[in-house]
Amino acid sequence: MLFPTFDFLLFVIPALLGFWLLAERPIARTVWLLVASYFFYMAGPKTEPPPAPAYFAGLLLFSTVLDFVCGKRIHELAPDVDSEDPARAARAKRRRKGWLMASLVGNLGLLGYFKYVNFFLQAFADMAGVVDIDITPLHLDVILPLGISFYTFQSLSYTLDIHGGRLEPEPSFSRFALFVVFFPQLVAGPIVRATDLLPQLRAGPRFSVAHIEEGAFRICKGLAKKVVLGDWIAVHLTDAIFDAPGAYTSAELMLALYAYTLQIYADFSGYTDIAIGTGRLLGFQLPENFDRPYQSLDIAEYWRRWHMTLSGWLRNYVFFPVIMRLGARGGYVAVWLTMFLVGMWHGASWNFVIYANLHAAAVVFNRWNRTRDRDQPRWRKLLGLQFSMVIFAAIMAALMHYVLALPWEQAGWVGGVMGIVFGLICTLPLPNEGGKLMAVVHVVLTFHLLVFSRIFFRAQGLGNARTIVAGLADFDLAHGIRPGLVSPWVAVALIGGLAVHFTPKKWVDEHLMGVFRKTPGWVLGVVFVAFTYGLMKLMSGSPRAFIYFQF
């Protein structure tokens, strides 16, 4: 079931009314919301991906039961770990580790099978082809369950927190099941940890006029982002260009990348706004998932502002454990592994392997650039910089030729440009040392790294990505953008959407929210009706699934 549809309105109104009426009956309200959440999940979107098969609910229930049981058993064995009997303590540690492994294997095994099995089979065949072994890969008819990447991490965090001593097990199975399947954020986040949501479910909802106003405002903001800056730009610009990139000029391809960079932010953050707003109407606070990410000064800050709940999850459950095991010297390994997993979480293809490594390498470089010795003699700095630029340019040219299939002439000049940019970044002062102008330069550089990395996020396969890269490398800017490709209203949405994103956060979240609260109810009602009618006209009766549904 998609948020910007009449079907969702017909669902959410009785769901809210029933929950509000049962606010003083904890068991009944939990069961009501649990049934409503399963109904929401199984209703599925009436577009791509197709409606959920019945066994999807079984997978969701399996993860719920698995982690509920594993968490309980891990906690029950905790006192024996401190036993004075060494044999008893060792046995308890083994059994706790066994229950933890059962949770990890069960959850990640299902995720790996449904999301990555066909890619692994294809990758094995591709790697065999490199050594002239011809293998026809087996392709399994697997449908990716809706939201499995989100609810797997959410449910798994419960077991991991209990094992780490950060959480007591939840005694009520129905309440834990509601935590896993809570419908506002079930299929596309934010990824909520048990330590954040379970205490709210135990305490019960907190209703207030302020919460309702905040929830309504967030929902309206999310719908505007999704429909206007997400779907409308996609239909009238980006989809056509990405579907046939070979038919467009370098300037048009670059325009599509800028547009898609706005589109994906509006689509995903729009979903988050609607989810958080719906949660507020129910009396619960969901965590923020976005914080003006394109204003980031570097790539590491970007991942602290974009999909914050995913990067936070991997930081807590991957980065810190790896650092603890490897020590400070393993910092770069931990950074690369964490960022690689962030990238690969988004999809299973060679495109996402490139995307993951690109972001992982950028974060590793950022860490090195911030901690390297900058007090060397000038001659040594200059010599080292020139050597590094040449090596970096050569590596990039080789990757452009062998991975992205650019001719050596194009690969060489692209690698050379990237080497110059690399040298420029190395010579720039750090953002916090160069004043406002240098901060703007770092924001522009980081933003364009994100724009170009979207090639591998959006392209339909590696061949499509190669076509886009080749088209950009042609650098035929003289041909420009053909008349009629961008309508005036699309141009306004594109420019306006990016401009608003680079404004201070309080302009929307505080000032516009203040105007919303002060506006009389009858005026808001009229505006909301007109707003809804306008969105329906823009959608033309065909809502599009959120981009992150496919992850």
Residues acting as catalytic residues: 346
Contacts of 510 (CB under 8 A, 6+ apart): none
Q: For 295, which DSSP code? A: G
Q: Write the DSSP assignment of 445-462 as a string of letters.
A: HHHHHHHHHHHHHHSSSH
Which residues are CB-neighbours of 326 under 8 A, at least 6 positions away?
333, 334
**Cα separation of 44 and 296, whole Å?**
35
CB of 456 closer than 8 Å to CB of 354: yes
CA distances to 46, 349, 392, 445 from 421, rounded to whole Å, are: 45, 28, 10, 9
Q: Output the six-digit token pair for 232.
A: 């409308």
Pair 4, 227: CB distance under 8 Å: yes
Identify whether the C-beta of residue 71 lies closer than 8 Å to the C-beta of residue 169: yes
CA nearest 163: which of 319, 342, 317? 317
Question: C-alpha 67: how far from its chain's center?
Answer: 24
- Output the CA torsion sign for 522, 523, 524, 530: positive
Decide: helix, strand or coil at residue 297: coil
**CA–CA distance, 211 with 520 (Å, rounded to integer):** 17
Select from 355, 325, 324 the least CA-distant residue to 340: 355
